[in-house]
Amino acid sequence: MSPIENTAEATTMTELRTHAAEIAEQFSDHVDVTEDEVESKLQQLVEEYQVPLDEATRSVRNSYLEEAGIERDEISQGGSDQVLVNEIDQDEQWVDLRVKLVDLWDPRSDSISQVGLLGDESGTIKFVAFKTSELEKLAEGQSYELSNVVTDEYEGTYSVKLNRTTTITEIDEEIEVGDNSETIEGALVDVQSGSGLIKRCPEDDCTRVLQNGRCAEHGEVDGEFDLRIKAVLDDGQTVQDVIFNREATEELTGIELEEAKQLAKDALDTTVVADEMRADILGRYYTVTGPTLGRYVLANEFEQHDGPADAERVLIKARSI
Amino acid sequence: MSESESESESVSREVAQRVFAAEFNDASYTFKESDDDRAPVYLLLPTGERANRIFVVGTLTETEDVGEDNEYWRGRIVDPTGTFFVYAGQYQPDAASALRELEPPAYVAVVGKPRTYETDDGDINVSVRPESITEVDAATRDQWVVETADRTLDRIDAFDAAGNEYARMAGDEYGDAVAKYTETVVEGLESLETTDELDADVAADSDGDTADATDDDAEGDAVDTADPSPQP
């Protein structure tokens, strides 16, 4: 449809004004631009040159990008919303954050200026700032308002990237950082490989689980025994991976590390430990609470259900259908 | 994360549907969402949901090795509405040994995949190929009944919703008389009020079995002759 056809003209004028406002808003931080100016550029393209409005908008936006010397993906598509870090659930969204810099990590690449953890009351999220963005450095423990950061996703885990258009404002307020804690319930439907009695690399700061006595980083090492369970909770609608650390595993299964080692020694096989644990926990219902780490919930607290409390509620629901 | 061993299961795990035996045994239509050989196979449930995996808790009432050359175990697992047939052979060693070792009657939880096969009469039978079978307690069984009732009602409730493509598919395959599954749900829930103890419950279940013994036997025979078709 050509936007300047017949009776659609009035609508087109309104649309044109809307697009102009959006563009002006997007670029107001970067170049000197007014809504009127954008509108007259759009109008010229649409009315004199008969360019469809979409194409005209694209063209005008590009001309400002060039003027501002920034890349297309560095500019927000419409104003960004202020969000809490645990609300981030989409890739490539432009958002504003009010956060405290919780932790700085060592960058693993020369292109990275800073990498670490930002937090607000809802939890924490990883952030990356690249050298090319030429941003001021953030200080650990300081709270900031960050506007125009972009969300990123990797295997279900979200992070944010700072970029050239990000504005950083120090704030005096001390932001309380939450722990991303989540509570989930469901039937424990799977105990995955890597559960039971495992060996970890003894090197400093390396907790990798050994595969056939080898650490992926340090090669053949004399591992240290540990217990853990990687399980799946399923409530019939969603599945959630859960990790029980040694303490939680001992409490969940009643099998302690020393006993597990003895079981494995007697059987000349470490897998008997996981088998024993499977028999104790598979098919039961649990409520688990803990922080999220990647795609896992770490089971800090958990409880096995001892029966349904709401049979009556469901019966009422059945009779109301 | 410092843990490098976290294997990336990029393919997301299929949820385990909650379905009563009465509805499960009415299902027969299976489909894939893509042409890929390795694409998951779904059983279409009559209340309008696809099931690649189910979770069942019920009473194991009978186990039998129906294999000829190799062990091939069949278990009958009874819920308040009917019987699930579970088959485990050499490719399901854990589940097969569970069926070999368990003493019926016992409450068991089963995670497994729906399998269909055609009988000599041209009927489609549906069974479960277990991933795991574990013995559980009465409280877990009761919770499963309530949860399965709840999920079934959710499906019935959403059956007429616009854009519910699996409900449309179920309407085409099985008809849209889903109201009878509301009765199944009520039946399931009402069974709880009187069955707190394993003894009482198993008695009730075997009563139910005797009542429709002829039906079940016919079905059982058909299943026997079809063995071991559910093998991968």
Region of A156 please: left (phi>0), alpha (psi -120 to 50) or beta.
Answer: left
> Which of B57, B140, B192 lies nearest to residue A311, judging by beta carbons?
B192
Mean pLDDT of chain B: 84
- So what's the pLDDT on residue B89? 95
Counted domains in chain B: 1
Sorted by sequence, the CB contacts under 8 Å of residue B180 that are 6+ apart come out as none
Nearest-CA neighbor of A237 among A314, A185, A159? Answer: A185
Residue B7 CA to residue B15 CA, distance in Å, equals 19
Chain B residues whose beta carbon lies within 8 Å of the beta carbon of residue A205: 2
Q: Do B5 and A211 make contact, defined as CB atoms within 8 angstroms?
A: yes
Closest Cα of chain A to B164: distance in Å? Answer: 15
Q: Is residue B8 part of a domain?
A: no
- So what's the pLDDT on residue A81? 81
User: Residue B134: beta bridge partners?
Assistant: B109
* 3-state helix, strand and coil shares in percent for chain A, rounded to the nearest 5: 30, 35, 35
The fold adopted by the segment(s) A81-171 is OB fold (Dihydrolipoamide Acetyltransferase, E2P) (2.40.50)
pLDDT over threshold 90, residue B125: yes
Assign B129 a pLDDT band (cuts: 50, 70, 90).
very high
pLDDT over threshold 70, residue B221: no
pLDDT-flagged residues of chain A (< 70): 1-12, 29, 70-80, 309
Angle, helix A53-68 to helix A9-27, in steps of 10 degrees: 20
Chain A residues whose beta carbon lies within 8 Å of the beta carbon of residue B8: 155
Q: Percentage of chain B surpassing pLDDT 70?
A: 78
Domain range list for chain A: 6-69, 81-171, 181-304
More confident call, B9 vs A307: A307
Q: Do A308 and B134 make contact, defined as CB atoms within 8 angstroms?
A: no
Closest Cα of chain B to A131: distance in Å? Answer: 23
pLDDT over threshold 90, residue B186: yes
The fourth-level CATH superfamily of domain A181-304 is: Nucleic acid-binding proteins (2.40.50.140)
- So what's the pLDDT on residue A71? 62
Cα–Cα–Cα angle for A67, A73, A42, rounded to 5 degrees: 50
Q: Is residue B7 part of a domain?
A: no
Chain A residues whose beta carbon lies within 8 Å of the beta carbon of residue B185: 314, 318
Structural domain boundaries enclosing B38:
16-226
Q: A321: nearest CA in chain B?
A: B157
Q: Is residue B11 part of a domain?
A: no
Token match 């429709």: residue? B212
CB pairs below 8 Å between A and B: how many? 126
CATH code of the domain covering residue B169:
2.40.50.140
Tokens of A266: 């007697």
> Which of B8, B94, B139 lies nearest to residue A306, judging by beta carbons?
B139
Chain A residues whose beta carbon lies within 8 Å of the beta carbon of residue B5: 194, 208-209, 211, 216
Q: Which residues of B5-38 are buried (b: 16+ CB within 10 A; e: fewer)?
A: bbeeeeeebebbbbbbbbbbbbbbbbeeeeeeee
> Which of A155, A293, A314 lies nearest to residue B153, judging by beta carbons?
A314
Best residue in A228, A315, A319 for a mutation probing chain B (most B CBs within 10 Å): A315
Assign B8 a pLDDT band (cuts: 50, 70, 90).
very low
Q: Do A318 and B189 make contact, defined as CB atoms within 8 angstroms?
A: yes
Q: Do A234 and B182 make contact, defined as CB atoms within 8 angstroms?
A: no
Q: Do B4 and A232 make contact, defined as CB atoms within 8 angstroms?
A: no
Closest Cα of chain B to A193: distance in Å? Answer: 10
- So what's the pLDDT on residue B232? 42
Q: A210: nearest CA in chain B?
A: B5
> Which of A208, A239, A310 lies nearest to residue B5, judging by beta carbons?
A208
Fill in the DSSP letter of residue A211. B
Whether the complex's predicted ipTM is more than 0.85 is answered with: no
> Which of A189, A284, A314 lies nearest to residue B189, judging by beta carbons?
A314
Residues B48-60 have pLDDT tens digits of: 999 999 999 999 9
Comparing A182-186, A263-267, B32-36, B198-202, the range with the smallest average pLDDT is: B198-202
Residues B153-171 have pLDDT tens digits of: 999 999 999 999 999 999 9
Can you give chain B as a three-state secondary structure string? Answer: CCCCCCCCCCCCCCCEECCCHHHHCCCCCEEECCCCCCCCEEEEECCCEEECEEEEEEEEEEEEECCCCCCCEEEEEEECCEEEEEEECCCCHHHHHHHHHCCCCEEEEEEEEEEEEECCCCCEEEEEEEEEEEECCHHHHHHHHHHHHHHHHHHHHHCCCCCCHHHHHHHHHHCCCCHHHHHHHHHHHHHHHHCCCHHHHHHHHHHHHHHCHHHHHHHHHHHHHHCCCCCC
Assign B231 a pLDDT band (cuts: 50, 70, 90).
very low
- So what's the pLDDT on residue B185? 96
Assign B226 a pLDDT band (cuts: 50, 70, 90).
very low
